[in-house]
Structures are given as structure tokens and as C-alpha cells.
Amino acid sequence: MAEATWRDYVKNKPKKPKPLSGLRVLEVCTIVFGPSGPSWLAEMGAEAIKVEIPPLGDLERDLSCSGFRFKEQSPLFLHDNVNKYYLGLDLHKPEGQEIFCQLAAKADIIENNLRPGVMERFNVDYRKIEKINPGIIYLEKNGFGNWGPYAEENRPSNDGASQAFSGIAWMSTFPGQTPVKQMIYLSDMYGALLAEVAVLSALRHRDRTGKGQYIEISQTESIMRTMSWVWPYLDITGQNPPPAGNRDVSVCPADTFCCADGSLVSLAAAAPQEFAGLCAAMDRPELAHDQRFADHLTRLQEENATALLEIIAAWAAQQSPREIEALAREHGFAASRVRDAAQVMADQHIRQRGFMTQVDDAMYGTYLDHEFPVMMSATPPQKKWAARAVGFDNEFLMKNLLNKSEEELKALYETGALGKWADRPGRRPPPDWDGSSDLILSRDQTPAQAERGEK
């Protein structure tokens, strides 16, 4: 029974192993598209080392929500960088490149989202790393891949450009209106996600053969992959599929309707029993037998769909969102308010599932954030700690992974190969940091101070 499988899932999470434990990931990643992927691997238990060029590090640390920051940190950076170790390493310096190679020799996965050719300039591209570590899985993500006309033009890309280039923005609007940009960084986030499918497939290949490989992902090619019917539609009809606002033109009925109080409800009732349920809920059971709505393919015809959606719109305009949700539950179709952030945060279901989970962090305190959205009964992913300052874990990483001596460490800092945060919001620890909490290993503390939690 599903109930037996999932009983006490959230409670037992800390006691269970993680599926990617023992894997080491090195990332040289920036702004959403880059760091999200390694974060997901780290949530599944991989040891992710975030390499940032000191003292400023990942530019995502700069992003605020119209000026709002969470204890000085960018909310976006906080969300996309969990369970990681932070290394401030300057890859412009030969000494920094050497450290990177030493770490790469002990890594399983390397990810970056720099422009083509940059890692080569840093002397840490796939061809060099592969010689040190033939099992390495090496991922490069960017706008246009590493070859082809746009890549060679050195065209910059980002999420907004990718939404524009892919055709998805053109479609995601009302007929005749200017396209709107998705509020989320859709091409960045989805591209990052699709890239991990390649990385984990490559891991399976490596599990079986010992061989690593090189992977390149374009955020635009990734989002194009999601546009399913659009491409055969174009090829068959020779026409652009017109923007359709909130209507799902592949499912009928499926649209968003305005209720009596002016708020919006999205609804879908396509399968025969669902459609009959909706007709009953509207107190119009005869519609289920109307020739125009006889079966799904018939309903989807433009004229019939328009007629049906008008009937539903007139009905919905007399209802409250709560009534429609209740009727959906009673009659077996799908409906939900178009929920705002307050309604999402009040959702007890996603809280109790541990999806909206409370992070308990020594540096950023307690706050709610998304858990990795795949619940795994034997190996549950888990958010354990939040973001850290640039270079926060330098000492620990250098000692534990490379056993660097005090002299070597000193020399690395002197050449600038190693470095720490700039004294700026988002780069430094939060303002109420006590100077020692959460440092795994510090050069600046005596053992007695460390024990007392002093700097």
C-alpha cells in the first residue's frame, strides 16, 4: 500500500542515506542556469564544491527582489545554492588552475556555464581534465552550445534571450498582444534540469564501463524540446500556432476563467467521465450529449471549443473559486484558483509532504524553501544547509582534500590563487554572523577559541 511505503517519510528523512552520496561535483557556475544543477545533485547527497573567483564570486549573489535581500543574501542565490562547499579559487592564476586540476582528479562530475573556450583558456577544459581523470563527467551549459554559427559569433545569452529565441515567449501570451516574459527564469531553470538528466545518464554509463564523457547543453535547445506539438504543427500546417492566452489548445475544456469575485480559476475536464462531471457540476448534463462536444477530438475543433469555453465562462462568472474547487472534487474534474504567493505559502499539503521544508541553518536561521521535488522512499533528498560566503570553506577543502600545509596555504593566498569574500552584501556572511559558526575548519582560531565559538 502506498500508505505503508510513505508513512513517516518526512520524519525519517534524516536517518536515511542519499542516492548520490560519495559523488564529488566541482562547479564553476554562475547566475541560476549554472548553480541550480549542482544544487540538485547536492540535495541528493553529492558533495558539491562551488568554485568562485574571489572576492566577488557568482554574480547571482547580486540579484535582489526589487531590493529585497534575505539577511543581505540574494533570495535567488539562497535558493539555487544549497548543501555546497564554497571555494574561492582564481582560475586566472596558474596556481589556481593547478589546484583545480588536483581537485578534478578526485571529482566525478564537473559543471560550468561559461562561454565556449573559457575553460580552455583557464587550462582546465575537458581534454586536459580527461587525461588526469578519464572517468570524469564534464558538463558545459550555455546559450548556443560549443559549436555552430551563434556559438562562434560569441553571442551572449541569458534566460530572457532564450525565451525570446526559442519561440516560447511568442506563444505565451494572448492573441495579438506583446509577449510577456515568464516571471521565472524558465530557460535557465529548465535547461539546468534537463542537463542533469544527461549527467545522470552518463553516470549510469560510467557505473557500467568506467568511462566518463563530455556533455554540452544549450538552454534554448532545452526549452525547444518541451514545445512538443508546436514543431510538427508548423511542419504539417506551415502556419505559426497562434498564441492562445490561458487556453490549453490540446485539451478541451482547459482554460482559466474569471469568477464572480474577479479572481481566476483554472479548470480542465477532458476525459469522458471528467467532462460529464463538469456538465453535471454546471447543472447542464445535456451538454455531455451535445453533438458538438461528443468526444475529445470533436470538442477540440476550434468552433466547438470556442462555444464550450463560452458556456463555461458564463457559468464560472456566477461562482466563487471555492465553489468551483469543491465541485471539481465532487465531480472528478480538475480545478484550482490561480494561487498567489500567500496562498502557496499557506498550503499545508506541501508543508506536510516536506516539499516546502524548513531549513535550519547556522548562518541564515530558519526559513522555508523547496525540497527537491522527487520524494525517494529509500534515499530521500534533503536540504541541509544554506548558502555560504565566497571562499568560506577554503581551509577545510584544502586540508581535507589536498592536505595542504600552512605554508602552502599561505602561499596560495599570497599569489591570490585562493581568496575570500569581498566586504559586500551577498558576498560576505550575513551581518549577524558571529565570526565562527559553521566554519568547519579555521586557520584563524585557536582550538580553545573554536570550542568557545569565538573568532
Partner 1 sequence: MSADRPKWAEWADWVREKDDPRSAGPKLEALEGLVVLDLSSQSYAGAYCSSMLSEFGAEVIRVEPPQGDFLRTCTPYGLVHQGEGLNYLVEGRNKYHVTLDLNQPEGREVLQGLAAQADVLLETFPLGTMDAWGLGYEDLKKTNPGLIFASITAHGQFGPEADDPMPDYDNVAQAKSGIHYATGAMLPPEHDAGTCPWAVSTKASPWIAWCSAGTFMATGILAALHWRHRTGQGQALDVATTEAYMRLDNYTHIWFQGGGHVTERVGGLDNALWLYCFAPTSDGGVFLGGLRLEMWQAFCDMMGKWDEWGVGDWDSLSPFLNQEAQLKYFPEVAKFTSRHTSGELERMAVEYSRSGRLAPITTVIAPILSPQEAMLDPNWNERGIFTPTQDPVYGRVVAAQAQHKMTETPIRTKWVCRPVGYDNAFIYRKYMGYGPERLSRLRQDGVL
**Mask: binding to partner 1, 33-72, rule CB under 8 A, as x and -?**
-------x---x--------------x---xxxxxx-x--
Residues between 270 and 289 that touch partner 1 (CB under 8 A) = 270-271, 274
What are the two backbone dihedrals, phi and then psi, of residue 454, each rounded to the nearest 5 degrees? -100, 160
Which of 265/398 has CB closer to partner 1?
265
Candidate list 25, 29, 107, 203; residue touching partner 1; CB under 8 A: 203
Candidate list 128, 353, 384, 399; residue touching partner 1; CB under 8 A: 353
User: Residue 26: enclosing H or E segment and its boundaries?
Assistant: strand 24-28
**Mask: binding to partner 1, 163-202, rule CB under 8 A, as x and -?**
xxxxxxxxxxxx-xxxxxxxxxxx--xx--xx-xxx-xxx
384 binds partner 1 (CB under 8 A): no
Residues between 364 and 383 that touch partner 1 (CB under 8 A) = 367-370, 372-379
CB of 128 vs partner 1, minimal distance in Å: 11
Rounded-to-integer distance, Cα 350 and Cα 265, Å: 20
β-strands 356-361, 365-370 pairing: antiparallel
Residues between 70 and 99 that touch partner 1 (CB under 8 A) = 70, 74-76, 78-80
124 binds partner 1 (CB under 8 A): no
127 binds partner 1 (CB under 8 A): yes
Find residue 370's DSSP bridge partners.
Answer: 356
For 20, which DSSP code? Answer: T
* Total of chain residues touching partner 1, rule CB under 8 A: 181
Cell of 137: 563527467
Which string of b and e fits 408-431 if b means at least 16 CB within 10 Å? ebeebbeeebbbbbbeebbbbbbe
For 142, which DSSP code? Answer: E
> Are the C-beta atoms of 172 and 243 separated by less than 8 Å?
yes
CB of 428 vs partner 1, minimal distance in Å: 17
**C-alpha 311: how far from chain center:** 39
320 binds partner 1 (CB under 8 A): no
Which of 237/403 has CB closer to partner 1?
237
CB of 286 vs partner 1, minimal distance in Å: 22
Residue 42 CB-half CA count within 13 A: 27
Q: Which stretch binds partner 1 (CB under 8 A): 6-14, 402-410, 415-423, 446-454?
A: 6-14
Residues between 389 and 448 that touch partner 1 (CB under 8 A) = none
Amino acid at 105: A
Which of 147/285 has CB closer to partner 1?
147
Candidate list 15, 228, 431, 448; residue touching partner 1; CB under 8 A: 228
Which of 337/399 has CB closer to partner 1?
337
Q: Which stretch binds partner 1 (CB under 8 A): 86-94, 335-343, 396-404, 406-414?
A: 335-343
Helix intervals (H) in 167-240:
168-171, 186-209, 219-225, 230-237
Find residue 337's DSSP bridge partners.
Answer: 265
31 binds partner 1 (CB under 8 A): yes
Which of 84/404 has CB closer to partner 1?
84
Cell of 343: 496562498
Task: Kindly provide the residue ranges of all beta strands, DSSP E only, lying in 203-333, ordered along the sequence.
Answer: 213-218, 254-258, 264-268
**Mask: binding to partner 1, 289-318, rule CB under 8 A, as x and -?**
------xxxxxxxx--x-------------
∠ CA 203-209-213, nearest 5°, is: 50
Residues between 232 and 261 that touch partner 1 (CB under 8 A) = 232-237, 239-241, 243-246, 248-251, 254-256, 258
Cell of 178: 506583446
Find residue 268's DSSP bridge partners.
Answer: 254, 334
Cell of 455: 573568532
Candidate list 101, 161, 311, 402; residue touching partner 1; CB under 8 A: 161
* CA R_g for the chain: 26
Which residues, other chains included, contact 271 with Cβ-Cβ below 8 Å and sequence gap of 6+?
296
Which of 230/422 has CB closer to partner 1?
230
Which of 116/394 has CB closer to partner 1?
116
Q: Which stretch binds partner 1 (CB under 8 A): 208-216, 279-287, 398-406, 427-435?
A: 208-216
CB of 450 vs partner 1, minimal distance in Å: 31
Which residues, other chains included, contact 66 with Cβ-Cβ below 8 Å and sequence gap of 6+?
none
CB of 187 vs partner 1, minimal distance in Å: 10
Q: Which stretch binds partner 1 (CB under 8 A): 83-91, 350-358, 410-418, 442-450?
A: 350-358
Candidate list 12, 318, 352, 405; residue touching partner 1; CB under 8 A: 352
Helix intervals (H) in 332-373:
341-345, 348-352
> Are the C-beta atoms of 88 and 420 separated by less than 8 Å?
yes
CB of 405 vs partner 1, minimal distance in Å: 35
> Are the C-beta atoms of 74 and 396 separated by less than 8 Å?
no
